[in-house]
Amino acid sequence: MKISPLKLINANVITLHPDMPKVESIIIKDGKIEGLNQNLLSAKTIDLKGSTIVPGFIDAHYHLSNLGKFLENFNLVGIDSPQKIVNLIRKNLSNFPKGTWILGRGWDQSLWENNKFPLAKVLDNISIDHPISLTRIDGHAIWVNKRARQISGFEESLDFTAGGEVINNCIFIDNAMDSIEKYIPKQTENDVKRFIEKGIKQTVSNGITGIHDAWQDSLIVTSIQSLIKQDNFPIRCYGMLNGNDKEFLKPWFQNGILKNNRYTIRAVKAFMDGALGSRGACLFDEYNDDCGNFGLILLSKDEFDKLANNCYNHGFQLCTHAIGDKGNKLVLDTYEKYLCGKNDKRWRVEHAQMVRDEEIPQFVKNDILPSMQPSHCTSDMRWMEQRIGNKRIHRISRWKSFLNAGLKIPGGSDCPIEKGNPILEFFSAVTRKSPDNPNVESWQAQEKVSRIEALKMLTTWAAYGGFDEHRRGKILPGYDADLTILSQDITTCSERDILNTEILMTFVDGELVYKK
């Protein structure tokens, strides 16, 4: 529904602009914010009866097509025993013709009784006719059955020292995952378009008006372009290209960035290390619960250097996944080689989950953005001390330290790894408590951020991370009319009440794309 001009009245509008932090009404015309607190008699009017309007939420780290795929496959999030996963698949086995792959996502061994990776026989017993591949909650490991191993020709003697590992003959970590995944039938453009459409539905219902899509291959790019042509892509998307595929990147580096109203591609995504949950994050000192294991490095120095060089020379932003303290350091050193101090390239470290004191000035010196997901902290804190011990625990999710150093943090969820709900991200950022268990002490409370800072992470600073701060992330005349309407003011309600906030409406380009 696009009505223009449109007037939203009786609202509690949080503009995030210091000169005029609160207003009561907004006039929208031709997809833009035309005026604040102004009278326009001829406009169609919506009375918001005191609801709160914030700049449209932007999720700065998202996986849109994976979200749609996740909604179609087995959802294993929160399941507290491997046997329950087996039962779930068994119960539905008759829906899958012999030979088809059974896929799922979201298992997490840290929720199980002994916290250990399962043995091969657990999945092997389900079916000899169906290959099964189940992705871990963090996307950095898959758990497969015997049929999947047979199809891939996997042999126990294989060595995956280059950034991968196989545990118990059934858990394939990081670079080892590809040896299985390349046998899973390729998705067609129709599959991907269907995933994206499903993903968007959930996205707008969470009040999100724009996403930074943190891994796009050619299929995703063409699917989004085709959906936009069909006028069937009601959000904004900032794409980060698959940094592993040199052939795919070549024409992009030759032809330069893409920028239009709905879709921008000016970033490349790379992976330096894995994740802490599967002990793939690269650490300076060994894991506390796995002697001699320092994690994985997924990209050689030389390859990363070449990629950084290409991005630098062709005007692309480089966004590199780094979680462990050493993983972060490796990224910073290569970034610094090109950025050489003050700059406006806005190269990002995705996650920046574990960072030593001495690396924070290196972010500042080179204007590097830590792109962070508050809920990763509050999901992972359950087992963090076991993984890395007490002495290093202050290095985790250092939001306040980064802000105090003068950095901007684009905030996101990494959906579908987390739920993709900005209210939960906001709650995690201001409380450092799990939304599932809010009646406890804040975890590493010194890194909590204020309510306004948390809101900026999910709006103003996310826009900055995509070079859009001049038109999105605040509510100002001339800015895009991307708005989220909330049932209450999350900057003033009680802490407990934050979790009861409802998304009432989502506007993109002045168009109502979701209504509760």
Nearer to Zn ion, 67 or 360 (CB): 67
Cβ atoms within 10 A of the Cβ of 444, count? 17
Q: How many residues bind Zn ion (CB under 5 A)?
A: 2
Query: Does position 325 bind Zn ion by CB under 5 A?
Result: no
| Residue from 369, 425, 479, 60 nearest 237 by CA | 60
Are the beta carbons of 400 and 446 closer than 8 angstroms? yes
Nearer to Zn ion, 204 or 275 (CB): 275
**Strands, sheet with 74-75, edge to edge from the N-terminal-most edge strand:** 74-75, 102-107, 132-136, 141-144, 171-174, 164-167
Q: Are 369 and 410 in contact (CB under 8 A)?
A: yes
Which x/- pattern over 122-161 shows residues binding Zn ion (rule: CB under 5 A)?
----------------------------------------
DSSP three-state, residue 198: helix
Closer CB to Zn ion, 52 or 371, in the complex: 371
Using rule CB under 5 A, residue 447 touches Zn ion: no
In the bound complex, what is the minimum distance in angstroms from residue 214's beta carbon to Zn ion?
5
Residue 123 C-beta-side C-alpha neighbours within 13 Å = 26
Minimum gap (Å) between residue 63 Cβ and Zn ion: 6
- Nearer to Zn ion among residue 214 and residue 430 (C-beta): 214
**Nearer of residues 461 and 507 to Zn ion, judged by Cβ:** 461
Please choose, from the candidates 405, 418, 323, the residue with its C-alpha nearest in 3D space to the C-alpha of residue 368. Answer: 405
For 255-294, b/e burial (b = at least 16 CB within 10 A) is eeeeeeebbbbbbbbbbbbbbbbbbbbbbeeebbeeeeeb
- Give me the residue label for tokens 């574990």: 354
Classified as helix, coil or strand, 291 is coil
Provide the minimum distance between the beta carbon of 322 and Zn ion in the complex, in angstroms, as a whole number. 12
Question: How far apart are CB 62 and Zn ion at their closest, in Å?
Answer: 8
Within positions 389 to 428, which residues make up the interface with Zn ion, using CB under 5 A? 414
- Residue 253 dihedral angles phi and psi, to the nearest 5°: -65, -35
Return the DSSP state at 345: -
Compute the least distance from the CB of residue 293 to Zn ion, in Å: 23
Q: What is the nearest approach in angstroms of Zn ion to the Cβ of residue 120? A: 28
Picking from 284, 156, 281, 209, the residue whose alpha carbon sits closest to that of residue 505 is 209
Is 60 a residue that touches Zn ion (CB under 5 A)? no
**Between 354 and 486, CB nearer to Zn ion:** 354
CB 138 within 8 A of CB 277: yes
Give 380 or 414: the residue with its C-beta nearer to Zn ion. 414
> Judged by CB, which is closer to Zn ion: 28, or 282?
282
Question: Which lies closer to Zn ion via its Cβ, residue 27 or residue 240?
Answer: 240
Q: How far apart are the first and last CA of the chain?
A: 14
Closest contact distance (angstroms) between CB of 61 and Zn ion is: 6
Helices (H), ranges, 206-344: 218-229, 246-255, 301-314, 325-339
Chain residues 189-218 in contact with Zn ion, contact rule CB under 5 A? 214
In the complex, which residues of this chain contact Zn ion (CB under 5 A)? 214, 414
